[in-house]
Structure 1
Amino acid sequence: MSDAVELPDHFLPARIESIEQVTPLIKVFTLAADPQRFTSKAGQWLDLVIPQPEGKPFVGGYSVVSAPRADGRLQLAIKYADHHHATHHLHAVAQEGDTVYITPGQGSFFFEPGMARNVVLLGAGIGVTPLFGILRAIHADMPEVYAHLVYSVAHQDEVLFPQELEAMAKAPNIDVSLTVTREAEDWLGHTGRISHRLLESLDLPRDALFYFCGSREFIEDMATLLAEWGIPEAQLKYEKWW
């Protein structure tokens, strides 16, 4: 791919530095962009373009899973989907050293110092990706902020970055609760979807900002659940992917 590709000015080239298969269906892509041009707040997403020699370019929107950095490097965790051209290309064709084109971070779903002292992050499946960006940023730079990640997956092997989650949960200001929705004999933790019962058992702070991301059904379920739980709408922040 050539740097001469014509795209709007807010797109910038990014080199794929590494590709790692981290779960059966998720690959993590580490990209390097111009640090003078790439900026992103914790939790934001970006547009990614893959030019094609013939025909329209492939375009996808992906959440940044890394905390904001000053060196232009970022991570995307992308779940395989054969019906999505950009995602299929990244999983099946892209190689380390390739150039793609990205925008800076976008969207109002983000967390920065000073926004709240307590944060609750609710994620299901690949919807956890923007929450990872927020949790990593809090772990790295905001010891004054308490964060609790409640993360639902179908199977235990679908948990993203399990060793890192375990390490972050040792920090005094971070808690992580995993729940598995499909029965497994070797799983001894929480089971079932994120529910009133689960949230009540975790003793979450009611004054927190509640961030949630996932499928349309998950977003609607969490909005209803939290409203019934008495959380004001001003404390709810969610990311729609449709």
Structure 2
Amino acid sequence: MAIIPVKITELRWETPTVRGLKLDLQGQEFIYKAGQWIDCYADIDGVRSIVGYSLASTPTQKGYIELAVKQGDNPVTEYIHTGAKVGDTLYVDGGQGEIFYEAGMGSKVVLAAAGIGVAPLMGMVRYIVEATDAEVTLFQSASTRDELVFYDEMKRLSENPRVRYYPFVTREAPGEGVE
């Protein structure tokens, strides 16, 4: 797949250490499956840097893709956390990877993730809810309640009888809605 330019249209803090991005595909075709990952490139100080990120969006969401980026020491990741602005251009190619979900792959899907590993699974959950009649259960673990990426959205989605959500924390006492 060719490398294509995308525009940052939304930057938000998903957790204290995870930045959410919405990237406009600018009318370009971008083919991927729920749960796959992409290569993401940024031109930083005249040098093109690359890193792989899992897609949190679904193929049913047309015109844009979404990422959740945990703090780290990769130049692209540092840029996203400290220098990126709405309107900036990044470059992507993908989707890649053999772990994904497509309609018909199963009617009862169980997913488990820790930390930022929930990003590709969020793409799968969203896809299952939007495009299938399957049931999905997500077990999610994070060190603290504040680090449960997509917690609020998953709580809303779990109001759907086809969605079950079990969040867990490992470094603090459980709170309301968290084991």
Give the TM-score range, shorter chain: over 0.9
Partner of 2:65: 74
Long gaps (5+) in structure 2: none
Percent of pairs with identical residues:
34
Structure 1 residues 151 and 93: CA distance shift in structure 2, 3 A: same
SS at match of 1:50: strand
| Post-superposition offset of 1:53 | 4.7
SS of alignment partner, residue 22 of structure 1 = strand
Distance 1:188 1:105 in 2: 34
Cα drift, residue 187 of structure 1: 5.2
Native 8 Å contact 1:148 1:176 kept in 2: yes
More RCO (CA 8 Å, sep 6+): 2
1:10 to 2:7 alignment: no
If each structure's helix is expressed as a fraction of its own residues, which one has the higher value? 1
Name the TM-score, length of structure 1 as normaliser. Answer: 0.70
Query: 8 Å contact 2:36–2:120 — kept in the other structure?
Result: yes
Amino acid at match of 1:155: T
- 2:163 aligned partner: 174
Q: Where do 1:36-55 residues align within 5 Å? A: 36-54=28-46
**In the alignment, structure 1 residue 147 sits paired with structure 2 residue 136:** yes
Unaligned runs of 5+ in 1: 1-8, 191-242
Task: Compute the displacement of 1:141 (Å).
Answer: 1.6
The 3-state SS of whatever aligns with 2:66 is strand
What secondary structure does 2:15 align onto?
coil
Tell me the residue number matched to 2:121.
131
User: CA–CA distance in 1 between the matches of 2:25 and 2:137?
Assistant: 31
- What RMSD in Å do the two structures reach over aligned CA positions? 1.6
**Residue identity opposite 1:67 in structure 2:** T
Higher strand content, 1 or 2: 2
Shift of 1:46: 0.3
Q: How many residues align?
A: 179
Alignment of 1:74-153 (within 5 A): 74-81=65-72, 83-142=73-132, 144-153=133-142
2:51 aligned residue: 60
CA change 1:117–1:69 in 2 (3 A) is closer
Contact 2:11-2:19 within 8 A present in 1 as well: yes
TM-score by length of 2: 0.93
**Which amino acid in structure 2 is aligned with residue 123 of structure 1?**
A
Show CA shifts across 1:91-128 (max 9, x none): 11111101111013111111000111111101000111
> Once the two structures are superposed, what CA deviation does each residue of 1:30-51 show, in whole Å capped at 9, x if it has no partner?
0011444212210010001112
For residues 31 and 110 of structure 1, what CA distance do their matches in structure 2 show? 21
Larger Rg: 1
